[in-house]
Structure 1
């Protein structure tokens, strides 16, 4: 019996499946390649904003890889009270970039130590308030999680577009046909491997397409590996290399807002990946994940890194490959730790052309959005406000994507929260769901013109138990001989469904109530 069937027979959670060393290494590397560009972008941006030398920026990147790897191991493998034990890759969060740049430019001249101090203080506060966030799962029905998952995918599309165009908007070849063509070829390779390959090849289609795309780029002179040998082969992380952290009240307050956004986004990612791999995520498990997130953010500045959060693009990789094992992602965490200790390996991965990442990213991020749409298909839109809640939340989440400067003239704390389409959509979906589906006082029977205009449909299972000649009269169901057929209530449906499917044609039948006379012929 193979590992997969052994796990299935044991009835374990899908995320506890262990695919073996070879598969863990291959799929784990695929996760690293998927998020590598994102995890190095933040230290690159902040290092340039702080006017650091190239070697010091390299130390920031190594620290971010090392801290991200440790955070991933904590999140996937877990410790008591820490780690959701789900396939989530952790890394430096983009949500705090603008705030940290503002701290770097503050008049007190705190520099990198002020940023690190603000991250540590805010993460400690976030760790203390996680019990509040861990009890909000009841406010994340499929409507809310579907909106968030869809928004995650759509929010990442501009990233894929920039990657496909070359990544560096200041480069002379940014947006050239060569870059976009290389991205297109990578995309075609992903599709061909998914269609023509075996199950194993299909699952590795992203990784294989990146390898083939990179080899093609080398042949065309679009990839440069000449600098891989430059720099040290081994570099142990230095503790507080940039100096002891300093603590400034204004910096801490502004970073607390970032931490709140991070908690919302991490909650959404945990619930999203739970929905994708079809496993239970309760308040305790969500709390463990959030505590791991905050503990990682608290400890990361010791190595010279910043706030840690789950990477949404890797949620997409889980969806597109169907590989649910947390041990695969834990192996990716080991890769990240190794990359943090061996800069030469990081330089090899960094040499992968950004356009290749763009071609693969189009599939990855689109899969996230498609997963969200699949979740939204489970929502009941009949005679309620759910349709307009979904529409408003998605539209609100798209604002910062369609118009990045939309909140430019708003207060900085407001812009920090809502500049992220993910947090914008999540907050709006939660608020509207509470307003219309929990605080129902004053709700109308016909709450929306969208509902009134929707097509009238019946589910097949609602009419499958009817026999020829059955008819409704005054809200009651009768058979062709005039005998009344008992109609089960809504709450009895689930418990009786299996029995009803096996019952004889004349047995009690579940159907929908109706007061208008009608006949089945």
Structure 2
């Protein structure tokens, strides 16, 4: 009887073993039409940043216009494949989050240094070896996610947004090196695009509001055409369909110095990608543990390894698209995957790429102010949840933000230092990440420095921290 009476207690109300499966926000499936539209918006958002590295490195290497075109097409194609791998996943590759992959800006200065001296073949060889090293290190590197509490991630996300804003300012001025750079008309066009985005966001809700960025860019481009600030004349020139050739610019050359420099860059890229994965996890409000980070880094590095085979450069998560997810509220990874499919199509059909490339830089600049600023705002929101009473978290944030601002405010600050130091600290994102992690360890984690009753300036949080859940 005792046994029977127990069966009517609380235990009887508990499910035996099976729990109802909770659907993750990123797994939401939308109608195909919406997926295509939202995915295209992602691509339009990052397209300017995607084609910039091939243009810069190709010019530094002295390549002809057709060869630079190959670099651009290959970069678009690889970015599409990398986005599909990262968002949909394949076995242990891919974080399965709404993350857009593109050609990394962090690698540009190093590639320019190598390419201006020896051409692009040593660049490709260095990327290939560094990518393999990155794949090997991914599992170990992902465990460092435990070193990224909110005081660290909030600081990094804030710096990501701030470091991207100068790019949007240059676009608003017309694009660096463009004729008429700084023309007030360019600024007016950027301002008009920004205004349209703000008005759409304020007056409409739901589907239309979520397309505010895309609508603003279309409106800005339409206004730019009669104004003479948009040129679609080159759209019809060139092949309609073209597959990026394998080793189309020559087989890789393996130079030890270039490999060491590129490996350092890869570590920087992994740091930035890990920060983006954590950031998108917070925006989507889905758990991100070390295994998920490892899968994301592994996909990142596999894409980087394959990139030089087709004549492309290292791939990494694009922070501006993290901002787009925050603004639109579209958390579905399948929307991003649709954008990856669009990128693959653009890589195979250069005609489409030429149409998108014709969007005026000032239009991109107006949209970029909203997108990049929203990334910084997301970081500030994370920092607002950090406990600042009776500890030195305020110092962690202050010094890390300062270090992240150095290369933004004074780009030549580290020029006299060894190249290895410059590669890391010339990126505001990696400089802020390294500083925030080290200061958090120093003030909040090192047990030898933790005291039951610390000074009035430093009362450390619980030394156990908040462990990440296992996958």
TM over 0.5: yes
Partner Cα distance (1:237, 1:363) in 2: 34
Tell me if 1:35 matches 2:46: yes
Q: Is the 8 A contact 2:264 2:423 kept in 1?
A: yes
Q: Is the 8 A contact 1:74 1:83 kept in 2?
A: yes
Tell me if 1:368 matches 2:375: yes
Segments of 5+ residues of structure 1 without an aligned counterpart are 1-8, 452-489, 491-521
Partner Cα distance (2:456, 2:350) in 1: 58
Matches within 5 A, 1:74-153: 74-106=85-117, 109=118, 111-153=119-161
Q: What is the aligned partner in structure 2 of residue 67 from structure 1?
A: 78
Partner Cα distance (2:168, 2:230) in 1: 19
Q: Is the 8 A contact 2:392 2:457 kept in 1?
A: no
Partner Cα distance (2:193, 2:58) in 1: 31
Partner Cα distance (1:253, 1:140) in 2: 27
Partner Cα distance (1:446, 1:283) in 2: 31
Matches within 5 A, 1:70-469: 70-106=81-117, 109=118, 111-168=119-176, 170-443=177-450, 445=453, 447=455
Partner Cα distance (1:105, 1:223) in 2: 31
Deviation at 1:198, TM superposition (A): 2.5
- In structure 2, do the counterparts of structure 1 residues 433 and 227 end up closer, same or farther at CA, with 3 Å as the change threshold? same
Instruction: Choose 1 or 2 for highest CA Rg.
Output: 1
Any idea what the Cα deviations from partners look like across 1:433-466, whole Å, max 9, x if unmatched? 1111111434574546599xxxxxxxxxxxxxxx
Tell me if 1:15 matches 2:23: no
Partner Cα distance (1:352, 1:414) in 2: 37
Deviation at 1:173, TM superposition (A): 1.3
Q: Is the 8 A contact 1:265 1:423 kept in 2?
A: yes
Any idea what the Cα deviations from partners look like across 1:496-518, whole Å, max 9, x if unmatched? xxxxxxxxxxxxxxxxxxxxxxx
Q: Is the 8 A contact 1:66 1:337 kept in 2?
A: yes
Alignment partner of 1:309: what SS?
strand
Any idea what the Cα deviations from partners look like across 1:223-276, whole Å, max 9, x if unmatched? 111111011111111111111111111111111100110111111010011011
- In structure 2, do the counterparts of structure 1 residues 304 and 448 end up closer, same or farther at CA, with 3 Å as the change threshold? farther
Partner Cα distance (2:292, 2:120) in 1: 34
- In structure 2, do the counterparts of structure 1 residues 367 and 450 end up closer, same or farther at CA, with 3 Å as the change threshold? farther
Q: What is the aligned partner in structure 1 of residue 3 from structure 2?
A: none
Q: What is the aligned partner in structure 1 of residue 467 from structure 2?
A: none
Q: What is the aligned partner in structure 2 of residue 508 from structure 1?
A: none
Q: Is the 8 A contact 2:390 2:457 kept in 1?
A: no
User: More relative contact order in 1 or in 2 (CA 8 Å, sep 6+)?
Assistant: 2
Q: Is the 8 A contact 1:86 1:273 kept in 2?
A: yes
RMSD in angstroms over aligned alpha carbons? Answer: 1.5
Alignment partner of 1:105: what SS?
helix
Any idea what the Cα deviations from partners look like across 1:101-135, whole Å, max 9, x if unmatched? 121234xx3x2111101000011011111121111
Count of residues paired in the alignment:
440
Partner Cα distance (2:68, 2:143) in 1: 39
Given the two structures, how large is their TM-score scaled by the length of structure 2?
A: 0.91
Deviation at 1:52, TM superposition (A): 1.0
Alignment partner of 2:316: what SS?
strand
- In structure 2, do the counterparts of structure 1 residues 175 and 402 end up closer, same or farther at CA, with 3 Å as the change threshold? same
Instruction: After the TM superposition, list the runs of 4 or more consecutive aligned residues in structure 1 that deviate by more than 4 angstroms.
Output: 443-451
Given the two structures, how large is their TM-score scaled by the length of structure 1?
A: 0.83
Partner Cα distance (1:344, 1:421) in 2: 36
Q: What is the aligned partner in structure 1 of residue 15 from structure 2?
A: none
- In structure 2, do the counterparts of structure 1 residues 442 and 284 end up closer, same or farther at CA, with 3 Å as the change threshold? closer
Partner Cα distance (1:221, 1:134) in 2: 49
